[in-house]
A and B are shown apart, each in its own frame.
Chain A
Amino acid sequence: MKSAPNAGRNPGSEGVPPSTKAGTPSFPGRRLGRYGFNAFCIAGFVFLLAPILVIVPLSFNAEPYFTFTEGMLRLDPDAWSLRWYDAIVNDEAWSRALINSLLIGIASTVLATTLGTLAALGLASPSMPARNLVTAVLISPMITPIIIVAVGVFFFYSGLGLGQTHAGLILAHAALGAPFVVITVTATLAGFDRTVLRAAASLGAGPLRRFFRVQLPLIAPGVFSGGLFAFAASFDEVVVVLFLGGLEQRTIPRQMWAGIREQISPAILALAVFLIAFAVVVLLTVEWLRNRSASAQRSVH
């Protein structure tokens, strides 16, 4: 339960006049202020979530339109249908795109997670030279404008014969995903108590054994959520695929891009609903991992 001082942390506490006890507003202006604040926050949340929520019912539209038809509003069962879901599931192009997305996503994630975790371990070592500079370089793919990355790899990889290959996309996506791993693992390591390692060493554990038996289990949630970030980054990436990928590297976002630019069919909305569900699953997993990692590190103490 909440402790007493927390009462003052409620939004709108600035609406509490100094002379009165918390929670008993004295005149309507202040109260109005608090309502206004709450309304503003709620509007903010609506702005964040409404676009995503609106897609869900519209994906069941029986008509090829993007508005709620009168039938839908009357809850007429004929106005609702699964035809766009049928279209997505039965279209070979989408299943091929899914295979490509998974293939490129998983391969680049494995690469990014392995290299990124090693690098984060190195960066966390107190004796790491030029740490800030190296970190800045390793993180830079994340903040470089994606169009520049895409054009750069388009010119360079094409010259190496990696244009229109899965390998080229995997390399590029791994570089884009690695910063996420570095950041999350570094964050986990910041809470990591190095005395545990020394204790293990004093008990006779060698460096490899110390890493695999002691350190890795403790930072595993960080590694795993870093991997999820890297996968999501690849799974959602379209610009590099647009420039570097070809017909046989069409991914889900690439296929969606074509769909949005050429012809918005509600079939895309059905796909979007799948992707939203995917996002929620990943999000809950990451949150669960974060809590686990926090509690694992607490329990060491």
Chain B
Amino acid sequence: MAAAPLLALHLLAPGGGASAQSITVVSWGGSYARSCQEAYHKAFTEETGIEVLLEDYNGGLAQIRAQVDAGAVHWDVVDMELPDARLACDEGLIELVDLADLPAGVNGESPEADYPAEYVNECGAGMTFYSTVFAYNSNFLTGPGPETVADFFDLEKFPGRRGMRRSPLVNLEFALMADGVPLDQVYRTLDTPEGQDRAFRKLDTIKDQVVWWEAGAQPPQLLADGEVIMSTAYNGRIFNAQVLENQPFVIVWDGQALDTGYLAIVAGTERYEEAMQFVKFANRPGSIANVSKYISYGPVRLSARALVDRHLETGTAMQPHMPTSPDNMKRALSLDWRWWSENRDDMYERFSAWLAR
């Protein structure tokens, strides 16, 4: 009964999303969003009394741009991949975050000293390393499994369908690495028209065998259903399927593409103070490290890295599962956001044209 007047109120208030005592945080859904919820959303609400409403999205800036343009901002904090964050920053869609405002490191280091130089960014608070890897289900792929990126593209050795994200991001890099481009030459190659052609030509070779996914939760499902024999995926999602659902998935770390997640504040939100409070809370080394209790994503902040310990539910030691652990880093590529923020439009357009044909 009490719900009726409440709902009526909702109806009458245009733009009446979250009230001052709640903020809307937008994240990538599935086990990652749940992990962040456990790791710091709940503690934040406990400490401040501000409720956190969790919304899912699959990346992209359409919603944010529409809200900012209309001056009716419903989303307050968005978990973004770096190329999106840079573009949003250039377009004035997200607030700048002054590094000095962020919390100090574990031993009182200044935030600036607590970040590796290449991950200092005025567009948001750097949170965790995650990685795009590829994985397979050992139930369906018996015999010797794939070991290199080149194997992912090798239809003769490993016939069958593959899952890939419906985006040029990472796929172009994978294609070049598989085509024999050394890791440190990938972006230099991609920066030339010939290099781009080469990447798309390599993708051509498996195009008919690819199932395209959009949400990070899809690849584990595709693998579990046997819909594909291997798939690119976020390493944390695969890890969770391994330890929580006992799925016989195997991660291939060769050629992993390392990226960082950023928390950004949508420009013009009426709940800026609360949103900033949330970002500061989430950016504490303890909060960031907490994420690794639930999913295998590691802190970007240097002082938080030592805090990574065990998976809460299963007791698995987490350090070896971090994308940044030495074993996994043997052949790793860092996503070059500078290149992507300049070439994003062209590559997205070319990719969608390529896809549609």
The answer on direct contact between A and B (beta carbons under 8 Å) is yes
Question: Chain A interface (Cβ within 8 Å of chain B)?
Answer: 99, 103, 107, 154-155, 158-167, 170, 246-248, 258, 261-264
CB distance from A98 to the nearest CB of B (A): 12
Say yes or no: is B17 at the interface (Cβ < 8 Å to chain A): yes
Contact B67 A163 (CB under 8 A): yes
Task: Tell which of A107, A159, A247, A261 has the most Cβ of chain B within 10 Å.
Answer: A247
Contact B55 A261 (CB under 8 A): no
Contact partners of B75 in chain A: CB under 8 A: 246
Say yes or no: is B214 at the interface (Cβ < 8 Å to chain A): yes
A-facing mask of B51-78, CB < 8 A → 1, else 0? Answer: 0011110000000001101111011000
- A160 CA to B67 CA in the complex, in Å? 10
Contact of A258 among B14, B56, B70 (CB under 8 A): B56
Contact B221 A161 (CB under 8 A): no
List 4 other contacts, CB 8 Å, given A158-B70, A165-B13: A166-B10, A246-B55, A261-B214, A263-B218
Contact partners of A258 in chain B: CB under 8 A: 29, 56
- A155 CA to B62 CA in the complex, in Å? 10
Contact A164 B74 (CB under 8 A): yes
- Known A-B contacts A158-B67, A263-B30; A246 and B10 likewise in contact (beta carbons under 8 Å): no
CB distance from A41 to the nearest CB of B (A): 34
Contact of A263 among B3, B66, B70, B217 (CB under 8 A): B217
- A48 CA to B74 CA in the complex, in Å? 42
Say yes or no: is B24 at the interface (Cβ < 8 Å to chain A): yes
CB distance from A15 to the nearest CB of B (A): 45
Task: Tell which of B30, B70, B215, B221 has the most Cβ of chain A within 10 Å.
Answer: B70
- A107 CA to B4 CA in the complex, in Å? 13
Contact partners of B15 in chain A: CB under 8 A: 161, 163-165
Main secondary structure of the interface of A (DSSP, over half): helix
CB distance from A272 to the nearest CB of B (A): 18
CB distance from A233 to the nearest CB of B (A): 20
Say yes or no: is B7 at the interface (Cβ < 8 Å to chain A): yes
- A103 CA to B5 CA in the complex, in Å? 12
Contact partners of B54 in chain A: CB under 8 A: 247
14 contacts between A and B (CB under 8 A): A99-B7, A103-B7, A161-B72, A163-B70, A163-B72, A164-B15, A164-B17, A165-B11, A246-B74, A246-B75, A248-B17, A258-B29, A261-B215, A263-B221
Task: Tell which of A159, A162, A164, A261 has the most Cβ of chain B within 10 Å.
Answer: A164
Contact partners of A99 in chain B: CB under 8 A: 3, 7
Contact partners of A263 in chain B: CB under 8 A: 30, 217-218, 221
A-facing mask of B5-39, CB < 8 A → 1, else 0? Answer: 00100111111110000001000011000000000
Closest 4 CB pairs of A and B: A262-B217, A158-B70, A247-B55, A161-B72
Contact A161 B10 (CB under 8 A): no
Contact partners of B70 in chain A: CB under 8 A: 158-161, 163
- A154 CA to B63 CA in the complex, in Å? 9
Contact A158 B69 (CB under 8 A): yes
- Known A-B contacts A158-B67, A161-B71, A163-B74; A262 and B14 likewise in contact (beta carbons under 8 Å): no
CB distance from A59 to the nearest CB of B (A): 18
CB distance from A167 to the nearest CB of B (A): 6
- A158 CA to B14 CA in the complex, in Å? 10
Contact partners of B12 in chain A: CB under 8 A: 167
Contact B56 A162 (CB under 8 A): no
Contact A161 B74 (CB under 8 A): no
Interface residues of B in 213-258 (CB under 8 A from A): 214-215, 217-218, 221
- Known A-B contacts A99-B7, A247-B53, A261-B218; A161 and B69 likewise in contact (beta carbons under 8 Å): no
- A248 CA to B6 CA in the complex, in Å? 13
- A198 CA to B107 CA in the complex, in Å? 91
CB distance from A240 to the nearest CB of B (A): 14
Contact A166 B55 (CB under 8 A): no
Contact partners of A154 in chain B: CB under 8 A: 66
- Known A-B contacts A246-B55, A247-B53; A165 and B16 likewise in contact (beta carbons under 8 Å): yes
Contact partners of A164 in chain B: CB under 8 A: 15, 17, 67, 72, 74
- A103 CA to B72 CA in the complex, in Å? 23
Contact of B17 among A167, A246, A262 (CB under 8 A): A246
Q: Across the interface, name the chain A residue whose C-beta is closest to B53.
A: A247
